[in-house]
């Protein structure tokens, strides 16, 4: 084929590509509307966290009771969130 024949032959883009191009503005507006609805209608992660926060340890666990007692006796924190390091030697 010569270059003249190639330039005169035009192929149409696929149907999907033409449809997306033709509907690009409504698609973008739909995404913006969905984003706005989700932003307004769904609570933020901070709100969900505050409403659903629970203690990581059961309040009646012996380890938690002992840690709170140690906090009282040694005048330390009375928090139920803690990490304990135990050193043992001979």
**Tens digits of residue pLDDT in 56-74:** 777 788 878 888 888 888 8
In a shared domain, residues 62 and 30: no
In a shared domain, residues 15 and 44: yes
**What range defines the domain where residue 68 resides?**
55-90
Mean pLDDT of the chain: 82
Which DSSP category does 14 fall into?
A: P
Tell if the pTM clears 0.75, that is, is over it. Answer: no
What residue has token string 């966290």? 49
Mean pLDDT of 21-30: 95
In a shared domain, residues 69 and 83: yes
In a shared domain, residues 47 and 82: no
Indicate whether 28 pLDDT > 90. yes
Determine the number of helices (DSSP H) and then strands (DSSP E) in the chain.
5, 0
In a shared domain, residues 35 and 63: no
pLDDT of the residue at 84: 67
pLDDT of the residue at 31: 97
Indicate whether 77 pLDDT > 60. yes
In a shared domain, residues 29 and 43: yes
Number of domains within the chain:
2
């Amino acid at each position: 084929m010569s270059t003249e024949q190639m330039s005169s032959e035009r192929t149409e883009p696929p149907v999907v590509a033409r449809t997306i191009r033709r509907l690009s503005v409504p698609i973008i507006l739909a995404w913006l509307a969905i984003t706005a609805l989700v932003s307004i209608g769904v609570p933020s992660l901070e709100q969900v966290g505050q409403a659903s926060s629970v203690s990581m340890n059961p309040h009646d666990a012996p380890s938690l009771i002992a840690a709170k007692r140690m906090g009282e006796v040694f005048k330390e924190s009375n928090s139920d969130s803690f990490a304990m390091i135990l050193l043992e030697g001979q």
